[in-house]
Structure 1
Amino acid sequence: MAHVVHRTHPDIVKRLKRAEGHLRNVIGMMESGRPCPDVAQQLHAVERAVAAAKRTLVHDHIDHCLAHAIEDEPRDAQRTIDEFKEITKYL
């Protein structure tokens, strides 16, 4: 299956870039000796941002790529099922 850029991809990239900047700030917090609970809280926020981006990407793939594969190529149902199993392990 060819890679398709979906309408959500630009938003996901924006989220990841924000998370990247946030992570750099967390590194700065650690380097400047901020208290561990503060750092942990911010790391948790970065982790949640990345998880949300991943979840959006996986759901988008399921909604568009796999749904269309079933509609367009019903003979390749097993391949589509295998791809579904592969991507859901990242949820």
Structure 2
Amino acid sequence: MTINESIALHKHASHPAIAKRLKRASGHLAHVIDMIEKHQGCADIAQQLHAVEKAITNAKRQLIQDHIDHCLEGSVAEDETMRAATLADFKLIAKYL
């Protein structure tokens, strides 16, 4: 099994919490859309959009950190091919930081 196959099959313990956080952000975003459609104040809308953005950013940060801690860290000690694949995977995910 390659590192990418292993990573694709791996389920993180944090995924349910991240999904819950994103569902909450999704509901919050729907509320923001409703605010816009009801012509509410721009400052209030901007504040709510900032909260949604922050929630998504935190979910992304948690996902990436968990990936580094549980998927990449363990493969560093493997053979040279695994190290190269791990480095490539790290470079790929680092784009999203």
Question: What range describes the TM-score normalised by the shorter chain of this pair?
Answer: over 0.9
Mapped to 1, the partners of 2:27 and 2:87 lie a distance apart of 37
- Residue aligning to 1:47: 53
> Which runs of no fewer than 5 residues in structure 1 stay unpaired?
none
By relative contact order (CA 8 Å, sep 6+), the higher-ranking structure is: 2
Mapped to 2, the partners of 1:59 and 1:50 lie a distance apart of 14
Q: Identity percentage over the alignment?
A: 52
Query: Shift in Å at residue 74 of structure 1?
Result: 2.7
- Residue aligning to 2:38: 32
Query: Normalised by the size of structure 1, how large is the TM-score?
Result: 0.94
- Residue aligning to 2:74: 68
SS of the aligned residue for 1:40 comes to: helix
What is the CA RMSD across the aligned residues, in angstroms? 0.9
SS of the aligned residue for 1:7 comes to: coil
- Residue aligning to 2:94: 88
Query: Counterpart of 2:79 in structure 1: which amino acid?
Result: P
SS of the aligned residue for 2:47 comes to: helix
Number of corresponding residues: 90
**Structure 1 outlier segments of 4+, above 3 Å:** none
> Which runs of no fewer than 5 residues in structure 2 stay unpaired?
none
Query: Counterpart of 1:17 in structure 2: which amino acid?
Result: K
Query: Shift in Å at residue 13 of structure 1?
Result: 0.1
Query: Normalised by the size of structure 2, how large is the TM-score?
Result: 0.88
